[in-house]
Amino acid sequence: MKLRQTERPPFSPRYWPGWLGIGCLWLLGKLPQRAGLALSAPLAGLLAVAMKSRRKIAERNIERCFPELDADEREDLIRRNFRALARMLLEIAWSWSASSRRIRRMGRVDGWERVERAQEAGDGVLLITAHLTCLEIGGRLIGETWSGASGIYRPLRSPVLEWYQN
């Protein structure tokens, strides 16, 4: 189902889990950063239990990539992976739910004068980043700085989450 940005997603029971997810993201997005980061360890444990298939994939991949590690070391890597996943979810919650003022306090854009000079000269600007940062917060920061910014992404499978994100 393709939704235009102005459309509201369906409210049928099929989409209720998505609405529950949005509610959770919204609540997490209202947490102060320190409180959210303090929740990342318990959230990571919950994710590891809830996402059994992803945990099995992580176990298999780590075992194949690091055969020299013993079971405890592999388990530590898996725990750290789910902790990073929990932090990513918190960052998504902040980027989708936080006010513009709060987003601007989370980071800064350095070197923006180069973009402005290129625009003044009539040149187009293409910003490229590796997927090593929180692209959600970075995208919001750039959007707060430059009204002409747009991004490319793969639409989400859930029309409810897709609507909320946009």
94 in Cβ contact with 33 (< 8 Å): yes
63: pLDDT confidence band, cut at 50, 70 and 90?
very high
What average pLDDT does this structure show over 42-53? 95
Which segment, 9-23, 48-62, 85-99, is predicted with the most confidence on average? 48-62
Question: Domain segments of the chain: what residues?
Answer: 13-165
pTM, to two decimals:
0.78
Q: What is the pLDDT of residues 81-133, one digit of tens each?
A: 999 999 999 998 998 888 889 988 888 888 889 999 998 999 988 888 777 66
| CA dist., res. 95 & res. 29, Å (int) | 7
- Rounded to the nearest 10°, the torsion over CA 43, 45, 50, 53 is 130
Give dist(CA 28, CA 52) in Å, integer: 23
Distance CA 165, CA 136 (A): 10
